[in-house]
Every structure is written in C-alpha cells, then in structure tokens.
Structure 1
Amino acid sequence: MLETQHAQARQFHADQASKDTANLADPLTLKSGTVLRNRICKASMNEALATPDGKVTDAHTSLYDVWADSGASLLITGNMMVDGKHMNEPLVVDALLDTNMDQLRKWAATGRRTNTHIWPQLNHPGKQSPKMVNDAPVAPSVVPIPNEMFAPPRELTDSEIEEIIDRFAEAAGRLQEAGFTGVQLHGAHGYLIGQFLSPHHNRREDKWGGSFDNRFRFVEEVYKRVRERTGEGFNVAIKINSSDFQKGGFTEADSIEVARRLDRLGIDLIEISGGSWENPVNRKGKQEVKKESTIKREAYFLEYAEKVKSQISTPLVVTGGFRSSAGMRQALASGAIDMAGVARPFAVDPKFGTHVLENPNHVSPVAPIKSGLKKIDAMAIMEISWYTLQIERISQGKKIQKKADGVWPALRVIYRFWKNGKAVKRVRA
C-alpha cells in the first residue's frame, strides 16, 4: 500500500514537471497530501528566544504570529534540540522538555489562521556544540573541530546512537501532538546527521560507519522511526548539504545519493544548503564554481539542484542567496527547484513573501554586514548578530533597524550568548 502511494506521488510530480514551470504563487502538493499554498519557504534561523534551559517563551508565539502574515506558505523554525544536554548554542528550544507542551501548542496555532504550515527543525549538534554550553560533546568518531570554540568530542556508543534516534522520533511525536504539521531533520551545516554521513567525520568500523550504506544508516533510521511514530499524513523533511566542501568529506555525489535514497523512502521535502563552522559558505569563494550561463543567478546551489532534480520525485527547496522576486521566479522557471528558501530577508522585512508575490521587481534590502575586523567578519559574527537582534525586535513588536551600528550588535549578542551559555551549564550541571 505504502509503495503504491509513493509510486503515485512520483507519477504526480513527473506529470507536474511535464507542464509549464511553476510560478511563485502556485500551490505545491507534497507526498503526504499536504498542499502548500505557494512556493515560498521561510528557511530556518535561530530565534534565540528560549530560556537557558530550553523553554519556549511568549516571544516565539508573537514572532510566528507576525511571520504567519509573511506571505510564505511554509515556515521552518530555528533549531529545536532532541537532547537538552547537547545544544548548538544558547537560547534554543529543548523539544523534549515536558513543560514546553502548552507553549508549543500556542506556537503551532499561529499559522492556522493564514493556512501557513510551521515545521520545527529537529537537531542534535554532535560535536558542533560549543564550549560555552557543553564541555563534553559527542560524535560518531573522535575527530575534533579545529576551532577553540569546541571541545574534543567523545565517540558515541551503539546504545547512545540508538537513544538519539529514538529522541528524534519522540520529539517529532510530541510536536505532532502540539499541532505542528511537520518537522525538518537538520542534516546540514556540520551537525550530527551530517557528521554520520561524512567519511571525514565518521571513521567508525561498526554498522554505523565505513561504507556509504553504513554511514547512511543513521539518517535512514531517524527517518524511519520518525515516520513510524507520526504516520504518513505528517510531513517529514530534511535539510542536507550539497557537499561539505572538505577534502575526504561528504561529496556532491554522496549528497545526490542521499537525496535519491530518502526520496525512495518517502520523504516529503528536501532542502539544499551548505557550509559548517569549519567551512562556511562564501558565495565569492571556492565552494561553488558557476558556469558563465548561471553566474547571474542569486541562489548558491542551483547547479547542484539541476543535477539532483531529475533523479528524485520529492519536491526540492534551495536556500541561500535569494534576495529578489526576479531571482526566485527565475529559479522556479528553470525547473531546478520546486520552492525557494529564504531566511534573512524575513528578518528585516516580515512581509517579504507578500512583497515578492505582489511585486515582480521587489528586492530585499539585505546586504553584507561587516565590522572591519577580519576575524569577526570571517566567522560571520556581525551577520548572525545583526539578524538575531532584528528577530528579537520583531518578536517584541519593535521597529526593525535599517543598518548596523558598528560592532555593537556583535558585542551585544556575544555577551548575551556568553551570559546565557553559563546559565545553560548551571541548569544542566
């Protein structure tokens, strides 16, 4: 029965592909049967609005109540941790905290009045859990991150791996109970799912490492248990890197094979991104070499999307670089993607989706933010800090600032994270 449903879904998307290419305002039907009312997705950004112990706050509800009117049909939340002892940074939500259920229900309800889907992004950071919140990170193998922000990891045992997989499933089940219509598994940006997939980070010699089949096993089991817990009508998506841009690491060919296998398993939506703390995406750097024919495109990963799109039936989202209505429309018209993923423009313009739908010439004011200090700029601290503060202002009903005031946004957010990082350690001690 399930295989028949998947075959019908693949035929549906093949039929869609043979028709005229999609427009931003066109609905998108997923394998689950969910219909997204347009092709705009607000991609994940960390809200940094939780308490140090991972509690959801009223600020989350007020923020998503605003974004429910953004014009996007799908809102992916910031990271929610499947283990509160292992956070990717301070002030993120613990998805398995019992006291969060009432607030999660309020959060999930914000999208219903505008038929906007909200999917929490589920994550375990593995070794990419900084010292400010975690002195004892874990990973598939003992391969340290060459950055003083992170402590060397301990290798996970087989039973610990099984427990983490169960945590993903339990978190998805609770979020479904709270009223969310789907979840996104975070398999990109150097976090635990991506660590298992990478031969550089995963050097195990048991069933969880070595061959591609073994390295794929972790994400496969996470998907299967989440699906078993939530059922076929609940949306399960994933975010994966096009590659990790690391010698001996997760390659583009690996990424395409992951997409193909997850497609066969029945995943509902695949989002493509890239980069990690070790190798952040730099559009003008060496991580994506573009053909002359595509150099004017906005998004970072369209070359990859074109390669994978013909091999899967699962709808594809590309996130990274979209700033204008014209750029998003061009990407959809090319047939490389089914949906445009956009993040930072929504932090400075909460109605960005509406504006691009109504105005074919709309361009986001988002632009690179620099401090003038090479080390800070290389780590994108100014960028992250500036948008984090704007998200906070949206949640408080305040007017969004138009430009950064020197290095102060970075210093304010660094201090805030440092202070709350210490609080996280006290709570988890």
Structure 2
Amino acid sequence: MNYPRLFEEGRIGKLTLKNRLVMPGMGTNLVGPDGEVTDHQIAYYEERAKGGTGLIIVEFTTIDNELGKGLLNQLRIDEDRFIPGIQRLANAVKKYGAKIFVQIHHAGRQSNSGLIGGKQIVAPSPVTCKAVGEEPRELTTVEVKELVNKFIMGAVRCKTAGVDGVEVHGAHGYLINQFLSPNSNRRNDEYGGSFENRMRFLKEIVLGIKEKCGQDFPVTVRLSVDEFEDGGIDIEQSKEMSRYLEEIGVDAIHASAGTYHSMDKIIESPMFEQGWRVYLAEEMKTVVDIPVITVGVIRDPAFAEKILADGRADFIAMGRSHIADPEWAKKAIEGREQEIRKCINCLHCIKTVMNLSHLQCSVNVRAGRELEFTEFRQTEEKRHVTIVGGGPGGMETARVLSLKGYDVTIFEKDSKLGGQLNLVTAPVSKEKMNWMIDYHSNEMKRLNVDVRLNTVATIDEVKALNPYAVFLATGAKPIVPDLAGNDLANVWDYEDVYLKRKEFVGQKVIVVGSGMVCYSVTSQLAKAGNDVTLIDVPTETGSKVTAPTKAMLYKRMKNAGVEIVTDKNVAEVRPNSVVVEDELGISSELAVDHVVFAMGTESYNPLEASYREHFDNVFVIGDAINPGSITNAIRDGFEKAYVIEDLVVKKVAASIGV
C-alpha cells in the first residue's frame, strides 16, 4: 500500500476511522438563509467523502444564533428543526465509509452587531477584539451556564441526527478560546482568574456532552495552541490545558493556532512553508496519550506520511487541500500523486466567503458548484480544438476539453508551460506556483494534449488542424503607466527583472506598484545589493493582498533595507530622477539609476481580429480578456470549455438571425 501510516485505521475514542485523513471545519456560505443545510452543501461534503477522506468535520455550526454567529450564513444546530438537515448531510457522507463530526461554535466577541441584529456582542469580559472593533458586554454567570447547556444540546441534536461525534471549537479566538485566554478573560467569578476557573466553561461543556450523549460519543477539542499574542495562550499553557482535557474525557486534541489578531496564522498566505504548524501538535503529543490532529499547509502525501511516521501527530487535517481536490485521498492511495491538484494558499476561498459569496476555489472551479457541473458531456463526434497560450487558463481549457473527448492542441511561444506563473521567484511562493504548473503539465501528458512549445500559432498552422473552435489564451503584459519619461532607457518592468533582461547590482532603484509580484521584485532587487525604494501605489493586484500578509511583506522588505514610500505618486520619470507628488500636489525629486514598474498587468490580445476573419468559433479567455488573477483565467477556461457546444450553437444561431 502507498503511504501505510496515512491509510491505516485510526481511533478517536472508540470510533474507528478508515484512515488518518481529516477534513477540518471551514465556513462555506453554502448554508441556507436561515442556517439550514442545503443541497449544494450536501453535494460539497459528499464529494469529499466520496474522495476517500476518513473523517469530515462539518464547518462551524452555531449553538446560539441570537448572539453567537460568526458568519452571516452559518449552519445552525440551536433548535430541533435543524436536525433533519444535519441528518441528510450525515447520511450522504457516511455511505462512503467516512465518519462525520460537527464543529459546535459560538463566536463571542469575534461576532459583530451586524451579524446579530444590532445587539451588542458578548464575551467573558468587556475586552474589545481590535480586529472587530466593538466592545463586548460581559456575560453574566447565569448566561454562561445557559451557554454551557446550549453547547450540550447542540451536541445532543448532532447525535440524534446520526453524526458520529462533535468537535468543540475552542480555538481561533472564539468564545471558548476567550474563556481560556488570560488576554480576554478578566472575570472574577467561578469562570475566571485561576487556570481551573478559566477551564471551567469548556470542562462543563465536555462533561455535559459526555453525560447526555454517552461516554462513547467522541468529543474532540480544537485549540489555538499558540495565540501568537503577547500575554496570550502559548505552548506551555496549551500543554497544561491538553493534559487537563484528557483527564476529563476529551477524545482528541486538534492543534491549531491564532486568533483574529493573528489571522495570518489561522489561514496562511503563500509565504508559509508546508507543515509549518506541525510542531504545535508535536508538542502536545509529548504530554497526552489521546490522539493529536495536526493541520496547516499540508499538501503532499509523502510529507503527510512522514509526519505520522515520525510520530509528530496521529491524524492529518487538510482544509484547503480538500477544497482544491476532493479526491486527494483516492489519488494518493492509488499512486496518482501527480494528479493531485494542490492548494496554492492564494486565499481566494477565504475572500469569497468573507465577501458573502459562496465558497470558491482558484484551482478547482467545481468547489461549491458541484450541482452545477455534474458531468463532462462527451462530444458526439471527434473534433479538434486549438488553444493559443499555455498558461493556467489555456491548460485548464485543454484539460476540460480533453475530458469531454476533444482532440486538443496548445501552441505556446515560450519554451515551457505556465505563463505568468513562471515569473514568481520567492522560494516558498514559487514552490506553490510550481505545484500548479506541474499539475497542469502532467494533465496535458495524461490526457494526450498536443503541446507545441516554442511555436507561434500562425493562421496557416491552425488552419491545417481544421479546428472546431479556437481559444485565445495569450495572457497579459505588464502595465507601464502613461506618464512622461515612461520610454526612457532606465525604465523597466517586472518581467525585465524576473527574466534578467537587465542585471541590477549596486544600483539605486525605485520600484513603483503594489501586490505580491511587486513586493517579490522589490525584495529580489534588495537582496542583489541594490539601494531600493518602493513607492507603494494602489493597484488592482495590490488590493488582493490581505492586511496581515502586507504587514509581513513590509517587515521583510524593511529588514532587507528597502525604503517604503506610501504617500506619494509618480508624476514623471527623468534620466536620473523620479518626480513624485504628495496628496497636496507638492512635488519633489528622488535620485535614481533605474525605475521598475510592477503595477500589475493588462490584456494582451493581438490575435483576435485576424483569427475572427479565418475561423468561425473564436473565444478569448483568461488574462487576454480579464487580466489580473489566476482565478479568472482558470474559471474562464473551465466554464467556456464545459459549455463549448452551447457557445458554438449560440454563435451559429446568431449568425443566421435566430
């Protein structure tokens, strides 16, 4: 068997799991408007169960909809009427041999008044979470005891619905975490002060669930082993908590990290290395005998197997990995590792949920849309499709068309596939982009796509293939703003740096722009020994960088000696200087040897007009029509390839006036 530790049976309490793979709870916004289970949600979880995962932990589910919501569309288990929906979800998951837990939750001070009908949020103490910015009301002792009962009754309803166990959400700065942490618990009653008192709320919940649901009903606790906050919970305190939880009957510890004050430690950007959080689980394993679940940027089967083989954890939780590829487990156990579509930590899934959309994924268009894309309709006759451009959008188009039975040829003028993904140079981020390039490149080989590198797609060459349709995925080019001096010999763009068209060593360089590519270019130039100033100006790509990630990048750049300017715009480039203006229009001059613009991209679509003169069905996709993100390129390619027959019929109908 491939990966013997990963795919051996495991136990949580007296419950046997078929393997050591766990899908942890993650909000999806697939919930109905009243917090009920929906068909879309069932299809989403069912596909992950079908893919071979041993345990699925359903997303955080509120036990108190009145004051405890953490998301506008959040699953509920606070009333009996929600039992049938949870039961349908449990049945869908369990028929594939997977087990299912529900994560029971209360947001506490990490809710907000907008989520709970304008009421004041509640917490153990009136200590404001700076990330929320609302002062909470301190819960009375009576209210605390009522909440204990609400957690217990939530678990009882889960058991009634046929759920195999519950995970008590004691992490990420939510209510239980607030009781545990000395930073947020300043109470003077039996639920605050000493270690035992701060543990009392969680203890009463666990003991109550065990009493009502039976000692054999599994209860796990998710902990932020390190809050990454001054004065907050750290590893040593978590060791004491884990020992205590084992003594009172908790069946497993799920070792996570962070609060809303340290959000980048909960949901990591591309800059975090694979498995960086495993050490937290490893530390807990030194003090408890119950299983410990680890989590955090685990993407590769061999990496996961080694964690278990080295005794660093007992179970592997992979959240976004299951969003990106619901068949992760099936592919790993069958030795099809190259076919695994790995999560690249782009945070798109998180942004969509936080922006009140349903969950979406940059690399897996079907995530959250399983009922929309149920099968790949096969072409009725053998047809050929030509794709110009071998970036992520072009390759995704080729993948879907091949699955539908089309013969596909890709023309790529460069010597390798991947397009703009090849320009990422920061080692940790580059690893993730390489995962994506490797996945799609392997799919091109597996699906027998005719890939022609170093080849320009001339009209004659494409005509020779007699294509049913042509997709133009020619990508984008760097933006150079329209300002005086933008054509001088000392003006460059980020591709010039990445592709080493110009060597920059010991030079005074100003970089203009924002976003991940811009910050990467800036760091690269600084590390090469240049005197670098970043003029950070708003760009579309810059708006996609989260505040915690931007703060981390700023820190790294400053440590590398970069001067960062955030209150000026570039007005003109001169041979030896840059003219900048502040918000009041007051200008000044900065001496410089070279200027590098890294302001994102604009569409590069030079072929459409001529191709439409020679071919009936021409479709422009990805950056060539909507530049700026991997997400758009892959979604556009997937969707147009999925419905290509309908698009062609629509064009024919339009041409004859129907």
**TM-score, normalised with respect to structure 1:** 0.80
1:191-206 alignment, distance < 5 Å: 191-206=174-189
Structure 2: distance between partners of 1:128 and 1:213: 24
State the Cα distance separating 1:360 from its structure 2 match: 7.5
Does the 8 A contact of 1:83 with 1:167 survive in 2?
yes
State the Cα distance separating 1:69 from its structure 2 match: 0.7
1:121-136 alignment, distance < 5 Å: 121-134=103-116, 135=118, 136=120
Q: Which residue of 2 aligns with 1:84?
A: 65
1:141 counterpart (110, 125, 131): 125
In terms of mean alpha carbon deviation, does 229-238 or 165-174 score higher?
229-238
Structure 1 letter corresponding to 2:92: T
1:180 counterpart (146, 159, 163): 163
Does the 8 A contact of 1:200 with 1:248 survive in 2?
yes
1:258-277 alignment, distance < 5 Å: 258-277=241-260
Question: Matched residue of 1:353: which SS?
Answer: helix
* Residue 310 (structure 1) aligned with residue 286 (structure 2): yes
In terms of mean alpha carbon deviation, does 109-118 or 47-56 score higher?
47-56
Structure 2: distance between partners of 1:284 and 1:408: 19
Structure 1 letter corresponding to 2:195: F
* Residue 105 (structure 1) aligned with residue 81 (structure 2): no
Structure 2 letter corresponding to 1:54: G
Does the 8 A contact of 2:256 with 2:280 survive in 1?
no
Q: Which residue of 1 aligns with 2:101?
A: 119
Question: Matched residue of 2:298: which SS?
Answer: coil
Structure 2: distance between partners of 1:142 and 1:80: 24
Higher RCO structure, 1 or 2 (CA under 8 Å, sep 6+): 1
State the Cα distance separating 1:383 from its structure 2 match: 8.8
Q: Which residue of 2 aligns with 1:352?
A: 328
Change (3 A) 1:68 1:361: closer
Does the 8 A contact of 2:109 with 2:174 survive in 1?
yes
Does the 8 A contact of 2:352 with 2:360 survive in 1?
no
1:47 counterpart (23, 28, 35): 28
Does the 8 A contact of 1:78 with 1:120 survive in 2?
yes
State the Cα distance separating 1:408 from its structure 2 match: 11
Structure 1: distance between partners of 2:631 and 2:146: 39
Q: Which has the larger radius of gyration?
A: 2
* Residue 343 (structure 1) aligned with residue 313 (structure 2): no
Q: Which residue of 2 aligns with 1:25?
A: 7
Does the 8 A contact of 1:62 with 1:396 survive in 2?
no
1:232 counterpart (212, 215, 233): 215
Q: Where in structure 2 are there 5+ consecutive unaligned residues?
A: 362-366, 377-392, 397-435, 437-621, 633-658
Question: Matched residue of 1:389: which SS?
Answer: coil
Question: Matched residue of 1:394: which SS?
Answer: coil
Q: Which residue of 1 aligns with 2:359?
A: 388
Does the 8 A contact of 1:242 with 1:301 survive in 2?
no
Change (3 A) 1:145 1:409: farther
Does the 8 A contact of 1:49 with 1:392 survive in 2?
yes
Structure 1: distance between partners of 2:335 and 2:316: 16
Question: Matched residue of 1:278: which SS?
Answer: helix
Structure 1: distance between partners of 2:201 and 2:45: 31
1:157 counterpart (128, 140, 143): 140
Does the 8 A contact of 1:140 with 1:204 survive in 2?
yes
Does the 8 A contact of 2:28 with 2:358 survive in 1?
no
Question: Matched residue of 1:280: which SS?
Answer: helix
CA-to-partner distance for each residue in 1:7-50, whole Å, 9 max, x for gaps?
xxxxxxxxxxxxxx97101101232x211110100111112122
In terms of mean alpha carbon deviation, does 106-115 or 200-209 score higher?
106-115
Does the 8 A contact of 1:28 with 1:37 survive in 2?
yes
Q: Where in structure 1 are there 5+ consecutive unaligned residues?
A: 1-20, 286-294, 372-376, 411-429
Structure 2: distance between partners of 1:408 and 1:337: 34
Question: Matched residue of 1:72: which SS?
Answer: coil
CA-to-partner distance for each residue in 1:170-228, whole Å, 9 max, x for gaps?
01001100100101000111100100000000011111111111111111111011111
Change (3 A) 1:399 1:332: farther
1:203-218 alignment, distance < 5 Å: 203-218=186-201
Q: Which residue of 1 aligns with 2:550?
A: none
2:261 counterpart (278, 286, 310): 278
Change (3 A) 1:155 1:66: same
State the Cα distance separating 1:301 from its structure 2 match: 2.2
Does the 8 A contact of 1:23 with 1:333 survive in 2?
yes
In terms of mean alpha carbon deviation, does 324-333 or 54-63 score higher?
54-63
Q: Which residue of 2 aligns with 1:298?
A: 274
Residue correspondences, number:
372
Change (3 A) 1:284 1:278: closer
Does the 8 A contact of 1:368 with 1:383 survive in 2?
no
Does the 8 A contact of 1:325 with 1:360 survive in 2?
no
Structure 2: distance between partners of 1:27 and 1:98: 33
* Residue 365 (structure 1) aligned with residue 365 (structure 2): no
1:323 counterpart (288, 293, 299): 299
Structure 1: distance between partners of 2:168 and 2:36: 20
State the Cα distance separating 1:164 from its structure 2 match: 0.4
Structure 2: distance between partners of 1:253 and 1:262: 14
* Residue 247 (structure 1) aligned with residue 217 (structure 2): no
Structure 2: distance between partners of 1:161 and 1:205: 13
Structure 2: distance between partners of 1:57 and 1:42: 19
Structure 1: distance between partners of 2:115 and 2:282: 39
Structure 1: distance between partners of 2:375 and 2:114: 31
Question: Percent of pairs identical after alignment?
Answer: 28
Q: Which residue of 2 aligns with 1:256?
A: 239
State the Cα distance separating 1:99 from its structure 2 match: 2.3
**TM-score, normalised with respect to structure 2:** 0.53
Does the 8 A contact of 1:126 with 1:138 survive in 2?
yes
In terms of mean alpha carbon deviation, does 53-62 or 204-213 score higher?
53-62
Change (3 A) 1:236 1:284: closer
Structure 1 letter corresponding to 2:30: L
CA-to-partner distance for each residue in 1:117-142, whole Å, 9 max, x for gaps?
01010000101013431342100000
Structure 1 letter corresponding to 2:61: M
Structure 1: distance between partners of 2:372 and 2:20: 28
Structure 1 letter corresponding to 2:246: D
State the Cα distance separating 1:113 from its structure 2 match: 1.8
Structure 2: distance between partners of 1:284 and 1:127: 19
